[in-house]
Amino acid sequence: MSEPLVQVRDLKVHFPVKGGLLGRTRGTVRAVDGVSFDVARGETLGLVGESGCGKSTLGRAVLRLLEPTSGSIRVAGRELTGLSQRELRPLRRQMQLVFQDPYASLNPRMTVEDILAEPFAIHGLAKGQAREDEVLALLDAMGLPREARSRYPHEFSGGQRQRIGIARAIALRPDLVVADEPISALDVSIQAQIVNLLVDLQRERGLTYVFIAHDLKIVEYVSTRVAVMYLGRIVEVAPSRALYAGPRHPYTQALLSAVPVPDPERPRARLLLPGEPPSPLSPPAGCAFHPRCPHAMERCRRESPPLYPLGGGHAAACFLAEGDSRDVPADSTSGGGAGVLAQPSSPG
Amino acid sequence: MTGAVAPLLDVRGLVTQLSLPRGTVRAVDGVSFTVPPGGTLGVVGESGCGKSLTALSVMGLVPQPPGRVVGGEVRFKGEDLLALPEKEMRRVRGRHVAMVFQEPMTSLNPVFTVGEQIGEGVRLHLGATKAQARERAVEMLRQVGIPAPGERVDAYPHQLSGGMRQRVMIAMALACDPALLIADEPTTALDVTIQAQILELLKRLQVERNMAVMLITHDLGVVAGSCDVVAVMYAGRIVEQAPVRELFARPAHPYTAGLLRSIPSLHDAGSAGEGGRQRLKAIPGMVPSLTALPSGCAFRDRCDRASELCARVTPVLEPKRGGQSAACHHPVPAP
């Protein structure tokens, strides 16, 4: 098996919370709190969880757009933590971000041609006619008319703007694209177009995706593997099909049963979770999910469960899964046990 | 729904205009529907289809300018609300017809406690004293599942989470026991586990009170689980209306069928990530701007069934089969 494109080990991103007149630090938000995972070349890792679970922070930290507090991020074998912004710049063309809101992320005063030519200019690539050809090729690949190049972002619909955002991200043929809620701002009839575009681009260009979303139906559709986050940690990770067919963590089970399914014949056997996610400023002791968990035991209030490997690339951070554990747990504090964090086999 | 029961809400030929810089458009263009007592009508559509403006028109809350209701009737218990002077409308609004909005933070007043805001309608419409209103507010907070209602009644909106605020909005809307609740994307801003809680809560309160609900949403999944009858809107018009089972099993309008096809179903074989690589069946093109609608059927540019007739004659909503109506010259045949 070839080396994973992305290897994240025990990544932590903590934000100090300042308050009061003197701006003293009053606490710490552990937005990402000890996360380890791999992403194989050409696969899509889906990252799901509710708002505040740390999925967007994690996505940005992997690209070093946010400063990690501790831990290791390797992309294509190169350690990214500790590099200065200057050292990072040449690596940036290998890893790109697609934003949720394509309007806020496109400069309103630049034409589409300027927007798409900018990455080439920054990295000193494809000058003159060659650069122009690259821009036209990008427009073609996005299904946008070539006349679009002389127009401004506000002249486009949401779906078209997202196509421009994607074009900019893939302009320099990156290996890794982190897509942060790329379709949630779009209308239902447009979402499928953008998902199809992303899937086509992945196939044509061998892209590797980290796909962050809260829509579990779309995540299942696009992902090779899915990681579920709760309060800064991965609570379950598995190949997409295994996760949706047999979720092992009670949170994943509740999340899946809460998805509104467009089928009135389907019985609504909902596992209704009580309460709401706790504040990441003061997470509960032990397993962070225990106050809402229907199966919480005494032990859950004291100890935080590690990710137990369950075979076939499936792992869950729940004591109920401990009995089925196949291996040493992928304890996030040791950074070991990476076997379960990788894909079980190369994607098809 | 039998025809014998007189509808609680009977909207006929509603037309609401918006004055935009590029001209005046009919953002709601001849919309008709009914809601029976205790029933649930779902109104689905994408942004700009006119679903929220339809709700605001029923409530008499269309911002003017730029909006104006220029035609039709909104009969509530037989009385045309559009003909009522504003003073009379205030007697109805909040008392008999209440509304819940998408974003609770912008619809709650930040400088009053939630108890004061829930109690306001009770004092205004039912003549309750301050003490009675407070008591009612505590009772409503308890009914919508807010823990420690006796303390939360004195909380300000910013002290509550998004899910709690939406519960407060529902408590506020239901405090006077309205016969009809209009809920405009009540769960869109919420996380999926909280969304499930709120939908369950609405269902329970509706049954307990035999209250009618008009649920406006873009999410077909929400509609499938909550509604008796569904109206699908596109470019200001209802393009299909049907009992919920028929709509999902045998959509007649190509737009409805296209929307349903474009959503991947949960735990479906052949996902893109695992080698199945079936493409999603997207609807081509985009929602047309109301200032540049095509002639005839507004959907025809995106429709694979469109003919020359669709460009000439705007289809009207008419019965197609078993309680199902569609505004289409070439409806999708039942499978």
Domain boundaries defined on chain B = 7-85+216-263+281-334
- Residues A53 and A65: their CA atoms lie apart, in Å, by 18
Tell me A330's DSSP state. Answer: B
- Residues B172 and B122: their CA atoms lie apart, in Å, by 9
- The answer to whether the CB atoms of B266 and A216 lie below 8 A apart is yes
Q: Which residues of B touch A264 (CB under 8 A)?
A: 224-225, 244-245, 248
A6-94+174-262+269-341: CATH topology is: Rossmann fold (3.40.50)
User: What are the angstrom distances between the C-alpha of B169 and each of A81, A261, B160, B184?
Assistant: 46, 25, 12, 12
* Spatial contact of A47 and A210, defined as CB atoms under 8 Å apart: yes
Question: Could you read off the pLDDT of B64-99 as tens digits, one per residue?
Answer: 889 999 999 999 999 999 999 999 999 999 999 999
Q: Using CB atoms within 10 A of its CB, is residue A280 exposed (0-12), middle (13-18) or buried (19+)? A: buried
User: What are the angstrom distances between the C-alpha of B275 and each of A6, A199, A237, B237?
Assistant: 21, 11, 19, 40
The pair of three-digit structure tokens given for residue B218, joined into one six-digit string: 């873009």
* Residue predicted with more confidence, A335 or B144: B144
Task: Name the CATH superfamily, with its identifier, for domain B7-85+216-263+281-334.
Answer: P-loop containing nucleotide triphosphate hydrolases (3.40.50.300)
Domains of chain A by residue range: 6-94+174-262+269-341
- In Å, how far from its chain's centre is CA B251? 20
> What pLDDT was estimated at residue A104?
84
- The answer to whether the CB atoms of A264 and B244 lie below 8 A apart is yes
Residues in chain B: 335
The pair of three-digit structure tokens given for residue B110, joined into one six-digit string: 């930040």
Q: Does A262 touch chain B (CB under 8 A)?
A: yes
- The answer to whether the CB atoms of A51 and B197 lie below 8 A apart is no
What B61-64 contacts at long range (C-beta under 8 Å, 24+ apart), as own/partner pairs, is B61/B93, B61/B99, B62/B16
Nearest by CB to A260, from B197, B219, B279: name it.
B219
* Spatial contact of B143 and B171, defined as CB atoms under 8 Å apart: yes
> Over 60: is that where the pLDDT of B174 sits?
yes
B66: how many CB neighbours lie within 10 A of its CB? 14
Strand partners, B68: B17
> What pLDDT was estimated at residue B231?
98
> What pLDDT was estimated at residue A309?
95
Radius of gyration of chain B (CA): 21
Minimum distance, in Å, between the CA of residue B221 and any CA atom of chain A: 4
Interface with B, mutate which of A276, A289, A343, A346 (most B CBs under 10 A)? A276
* Spatial contact of A228 and A255, defined as CB atoms under 8 Å apart: yes
Nearest by CB to A262, from B194, B260, B302: name it.
B260
Distance linking the first and last C-alpha atoms of chain A: 14
> What pLDDT was estimated at residue A336?
38
* Spatial contact of B68 and B62, defined as CB atoms under 8 Å apart: yes
> What pLDDT was estimated at residue B163?
85
B107: how many CB neighbours lie within 10 A of its CB? 18
The pair of three-digit structure tokens given for residue A73, joined into one six-digit string: 């991020």
In this prediction, what percent of chain B has a pLDDT beyond 90? 72
B270: how many CB neighbours lie within 10 A of its CB? 11
Residues of chain A with pLDDT under 50: 331-340, 342-348
- In Å, how far from its chain's centre is CA B121? 22
3-state SS, residue B54: helix
- Residues B325 and B1: their CA atoms lie apart, in Å, by 15
- Supply the pTM of this predicted model: 0.88
- The answer to whether the CB atoms of A260 and B282 lie below 8 A apart is no
Strand partners, A38: A7
The pair of three-digit structure tokens given for residue A250, joined into one six-digit string: 């009670």
Q: Which of residues 35-94 of A touch B (CB under 8 A)?
A: 43-44, 46, 50-51
